[in-house]
A = this chain, B = another copy of it.
């Protein structure tokens, strides 16, 4: 294997043992200092970023991506603010859960500890660099970053700032390392470093996440795409339903918890859909509907089979008429991505049924799917939203970056 990667792995392992033992006070001191350091070096960061932006434009990067790549004074302040917010959060490391005495006198408990070494693979969003460092550092983990090649100068500058600050505070610089070789080969090797890396977290679009899931032998926490549904039941308050649909579809369209597909019980379609169509048109939302819905929604176009399974991330909504809550649930369980699903209803049995039977990370009654978010759930920070079932499901706060170990106090017990 690539010698550079092996060295980084060894450095991270060494850093791990130091970080595991850092006090919360020390970690908070460093996070505040890094926040200050980033702000202090705003000009230098913007300058490094300009090189990336120029190169991006030279390589015909779409303007939407250039926008994500670009650092401004406000964005650097935002990165710093993110780190300062982490200072305020409770440190999950060190808590001992469920310590119990066994009949033989052994005292067994589970202590919350850092995962160890975390790998983050992401695209050309330099803010992830500071954010990922902060989350990993607060939870006592060493982090190895593999950012997109398009942001390499920005990432180098940010990581340099952080490492300088770590050094000034007497903490190992290898708490954060950046893989500067952004080739695909190196990325592929990185994903097989099980000996050194405890978990990989891809942050980015569907393509990136799928590539990591397929190539990695290291355990992956999959953060995911959201083909989120809202089902309007027979007994729904239709004005509440329309407000929730408009919010979930249009409050922000490019996010994974936005609504992509609407299911409407046939008995309320006449009252809901014409009014809703007006409101959707006002917001320039394209409607792709099945035949029955189309008849009630002027301007709608026919939905194809493909639409039911598509996360648009755009001003588009698919609409389907169903005849029962069971049909709605079975449609959702067939086409969803396990993210967020909502029922609008006033029927107790159907609400409970929907909560029980829909298979997703977050299931709502009478609320917008847009709430699936670490901040909205009260975690104060978010690593991502897991759509897989192992380790963490749904919005992941700091806890998701920790594991436990059993600690056992004995007084000479042997196994009979």
**Known contacts A102-B376, A359-B116, A376-B102; A365/B404 CB under 8 A:** no
Per-residue contact bits, chain A 243-254, to B (CB 8 Å; 1 contact, 0 not): 110111001000
Complex interface residues of chain A between 371 and 409 (CB less than 8 A to chain B): 371-372, 376-378, 388-391, 393-395, 403-409
How distant is A402 from chain B, measured CB to nearest CB, in Å?
A: 9
Please state if A412 and B198 are interface contacts (CB–CB under 8 Å): no
Take A389-B115, A403-B390, A404-B393 as given contacts and tell me if A20 and B213 are in contact as well, using a CB distance cutoff of 8 Å: no
Q: How large is the interface on A (under 10, 10 to 19, 20 to 34, 35 or more residues)?
A: 35 or more
Contact A243/B412 with A367-B106, A376-B102 known, Cβ cut-off 8 Å: yes
Residue of B with least CB distance to A252: B415
* Residue from B106, B244, B364 in contact with A371 in the complex, judged by beta carbons closer than 8 Å: B106
* B residues in contact with A221, CB < 8 Å: 390
Give A361-373 as 1s and 0s: 1 = Cβ < 8 Å from B's Cβ atoms: 1111111101110
Cross-interface CB contact of A414 among B251, B360, B365, B372, cutoff 8 Å: B251
Smallest distance from the beta carbon of A374 to chain B beta carbons, Å?
A: 12
Q: Does any Cβ of B come within 8 Å of A61's Cβ?
A: no
B363 touches A413 (CB 8 A): no
Judged by a CB distance under 8 angstroms, whether A97 is at the interface is: no
Question: What is the chain B residue whose CB lies nearest that of A360?
Answer: B405
| Most chain B beta carbons < 10 A, residue from A116, A246, A395, A407 | A407
A151 at the interface (CB under 8 A from B): no
**Cβ of A220 under 8 Å from chain B:** yes
Known: A194-B213, A220-B219, A390-B391. A371 touches B415 (CB 8 A): yes
Q: Which of A283-324 contact B (CB under 8 A)?
A: none
A99 at the binding interface (Cβ < 8 Å): no
Contacts of A409 in B (CB 8 A): 365-367
Question: Do A367 and B405 contact each other (CB < 8 Å), given the known contacts A100-B378, A219-B388, A251-B415?
Answer: no
Is the CB of A188 closer than 8 A to any CB of chain B?
no
Q: Which residues of B contact A377 (CB under 8 A)?
A: 102, 108, 406
Q: A411 within 8 Å of B by Cβ?
A: yes
Residue numbers in B under 8 Å from A365 (CB-CB): 408-410
Known: A115-B390, A214-B217, A365-B409. 7 other contacts (CB 8 A): A21-B357, A102-B378, A198-B389, A244-B414, A362-B406, A368-B414, A371-B415
